[in-house]
Amino acid sequence: MQHIYVNFKRFDVPASYGGVNRLSAIDSYASTIIQKIYSDLRIYKGKAEFVHFYPEAELASAVKAAEGSDVLSIGAQGVYRSDITPGGNFGAFTTNRPAAAVKALGCKAVIIGHSEERNDKNEILAMGGNTDRKTVNRILNSEAKCAFSQGLDILYCIGEKDTELDDWERVLAEQLEIGLEGIDLSRVVIGYEPVWAIGPGKTPAGREYIVKIARFVKSVIGSVPVVYGGGLKEENAAMLGSIDEIDGGLIALTRFSGEIGFYPDEYLRIIESYMKAKEDSI
């Protein structure tokens, strides 16, 4: 089974406000995308699962639009490190999204440890003088445990920065071992993000490097699916699909020049290219 994810970040913000949404009004952004892709995704039933991570404002409409789908499910972009407890905290988490709320909305999955989330937590800790990277992994572990307790599937992201390339094995091992301590891995997929290779002007990770990392991950925690989180796109879809050790990918933008953004027709082309290469390699 292949696992294809999309992280919509804040792609729902209209271009007139500085965002990249040229598809629809903001209140129908998620439903517009789902309507445009749903019938095309059905041909991959039994071969791949598709999970879309929307911002919180889009979750209810996205869940409704995907209702009854047997190939597409909706996920949240994160959960808080504490959760609602019957007879205890009823939800006093202002500005934070507990896993119980994500579950109640109808979401099936959550993304935890994305490089942007890790950066945010590291920056906050650094303001107080804490530069111990293990701290972030412990926070993420608390989030993962909350998600797991609510029955949510987890896309757990790991990755090394350019300053960590000489120490990548220890960095990734810590992220895996601390972040997933006590978690049933049957509901976990690992998303590998080569942080040093993501962004304009940076050299993408090559096939040999990706294979090395995927094999390392599976040597640390067993046969858990590993997807490429450095950006599954048209340029690398066929290459990634041909790698036996890779079980899918994480998509963000589909267009990186001109009117950048996420476009459903380009998304479908990425999936077609990836799945064809995967089938050809079997």
Q: Is 3 a catalytic residue?
A: no
Which residue matches tokens 């040999």? 208
Eight-state DSSP code of residue 14: B
- Point out the catalytic residue in the list 3, 49, 52, 114: 114
- Assess whether 67 carries a catalytic annotation: no
From CA 64, how far away is CA 83, in angstroms rounded?
24
Measured in degrees and rounded to the nearest 5, phi and psi for residue 44 equal -100, 10
User: What does DSSP assign to residue 251?
Assistant: E
Question: How large is the angle between the packed helices 29-41 and 264-281, nearest 10 degrees?
Answer: 30
Q: Which of 49, 117, 160, 193 is catalytic?
A: 193
Q: Indicate the helix (H) or strand (E) that contains 141.
A: helix 133-149
Taking every pair of Cα atoms in the chain, the longest distance, rounded to a whole number of angstroms, is: 54
C-alpha to C-alpha distance for 144 and 148, rounded to whole angstroms: 6
Torsion angle of C-alpha atoms 137, 148, 267, 43, degrees rounded to 10: 150
Active-site residues, by number, are: 114, 193
